[in-house]
Amino acid sequence: MKILFDHQTFTLQKFGGISKYFIELLNQFNLTGDKCNVAVLYSDNIYLNKKAYYNFIVLILKNHFKGRNKIINFLNITFNKYKLIQSDFDVFHPTYYDPYFLRYCKKPFVITVHDLIHEKYLIHLNSQKFLADKRELLEKASRIIAISNTTKSDIVSIYKIDETKIDVIHHGVNESFNNIKTRHLNLPKRYVLFMGQRNEYKNFNFFIKALKSVLDDDNELHLVCSGIPFNKKEIELIEDLGLTIKVHHFDASEIQLPSLYANSVCFVFPSIYEGFGMPILEAFATKTPCLLSDTPCFREIAADAALFFKLDDFDDFKEQISKILYYKSIKEILVNKGTERLSEFSWQRTKALTLESYKKAISSYEK
């Protein structure tokens, strides 16, 4: 099968979950001999640029200047239109929600929906066109891939899409997390780990306030956050809570990530909403016990292999995290269950189910 992926996520993201998802898919398709093309001329994406064996051109505009991103986007869109007009593929898989391709694509297309965060939590005037574009693609796509049953339910509820058009296909975990080489990261000996962005729906403010009493009671315990550096408001919050010497930011590389998980005493994911939760699988793979907010998506992914706390309940948060921090038997049970649960997820499985979705798209399009 010939599959064409477009440029969008690789133009928009230097790194992040969506581009990582597509790179993992590309890895799997290339391993099994399926012919994949990514219509990208220019990209700063850190995952994409390392994959020189893919059948596409990746050039880097090394010098940053005003208007650079607009030029890159224009060039990539132009290249995508050329590839679409050539029509040398069986199925098209756009990597985000710009409908620029609709007038040029004469083959079936499949769209992946990662979450509905914009619809639920980021509604504002500037998002109206984005949501209208997304709706148009969902309605016109031959198949829709939802990365969790929670996401599928949200698509049906918000966009009124026929649920039989939607395939639920979970993520996997990168193989680098299965072969950990412990690295010294110059971090405190005992730390709780927080991963990723700290937007409002990530619930970071509640989390750090809830963790304060635990940190105050345990002189050796620290908090390590990986992702973008703290902003001014976050630094002020940390200072106001008296946690300056207890809270650390660590910009982990891809190579360091497995050790960052493995060296922690606990991984906490306090989000109000997520479409999946790839860090949960990464924690399972590194035998790191997890404390998660009690949301439908996290229950779906982790099942009974994690502890859960009630959203915005300070007392319950402290009770649950204390079980992991101070009861060795509970920690061991969670690690064992995490390993068992992880066997349900793999990129090989993701690829196989995605291929089935493509076949359905082609079949329905031909009818």
What Å distances lie between residue 9 and 15, 313, 334, 367, CA to CA? Answer: 9, 36, 35, 31
- Distance CA(232)–CA(251), nearest Å, equals 17
Q: What percent of the chain has pLDDT over 90?
A: 73
Listing DSSP states for 159-176 in one string gives H---GGGEEE------GG
Residue 77 confidence (pLDDT) above 80: yes
pLDDT at 192: 98
pTM, whole model, 2 decimals? Answer: 0.91
Compute the mean pLDDT over every residue in the chain, rounded to the nearest whole number. 91
Are 236 and 332 members of one domain? Answer: yes
**Could you tell me if 146 and 249 lie in one domain?**
no
Half-sphere exposure of 125 (CA within 13 A, CB side): 0
The helix/strand/coil state of 193 is strand
Q: Model confidence over 235-251: pLDDT tens digits?
A: 999 999 999 999 999 98
- Total domains in the chain come to 2
**Band of pLDDT at residue 53, cut at 50, 70 and 90:** very low
Are 252 and 236 found together in one domain? yes
Say whether both 257 and 361 belong to one domain.
Answer: no
The string of pLDDT tens digits covering residues 125-155 is 567 888 999 999 999 999 999 999 999 999 9
User: What whole-number percentage of the chain has pLDDT above 70?
Assistant: 93
Strand partners, 178: none
Domain of 62? 2-172+346-366
What are the CA-CA distances from residue 69 to residues 19, 47, 75 (Å)?
17, 18, 10
Assess whether 20 and 71 both reside in one domain. Answer: yes
Tokens standing for residue 209: 């306030």
Question: If you average pLDDT over residues 94-110, what whole number do you get?
Answer: 96
Average pLDDT rounded to a whole number, residues 37-65: 65
89: CB partners within 8 A, 6+ apart: 2, 3, 4, 37, 83, 107
The secondary structure element, H or E, covering residue 144 is strand 143-146
Contact (Cβ atoms closer than 8 angstroms) between residue 154 and residue 120: yes
- Distance (Å, rounded) from C-alpha 111 to C-alpha 113? 7
Examine the domain organization and report whether 129 and 13 are in the same domain. yes
pLDDT higher than threshold 70 for residue 220: yes
Residues 212, 238, single domain; the answer is yes
Q: Which of 153-162, 174-183, 354-363 has the lowest mean pLDDT?
A: 174-183
Are 40 and 131 members of one domain? Answer: yes
Per-residue model confidence as pLDDT tens digits over 224-238? 999 889 999 999 999
Give which of 200, 180, 195, 184 is closest to 249, Cα–Cα.
195
The sheet with strand 110-113 has its strands ordered as 110-113, 143-146, 166-168
What the block records as the tokens of 237 is 């919050």
CA distances from 258 to 23, 59, 127, 274, 323 (A): 18, 29, 35, 22, 23
Q: Is the pLDDT of residue 55 over 60?
A: no
**Bigger pLDDT: 360 or 54?**
360
CATH number, domain of 208, equals: 3.40.50.2000
Identify the band that residue 52 occupies on the pLDDT scale cut at 50, 70 and 90.
Answer: very low
Which amino acid is it at 85? I
Indicate whether 183 and 132 sit together in one domain: no
Q: Are residues 334 and 351 in the same domain?
A: no
Residue 203 parent element (H or E)? none
Q: Taking 70 as the threshold, does the pLDDT of residue 57 lie above it?
A: no
Same domain, 223 and 102: no
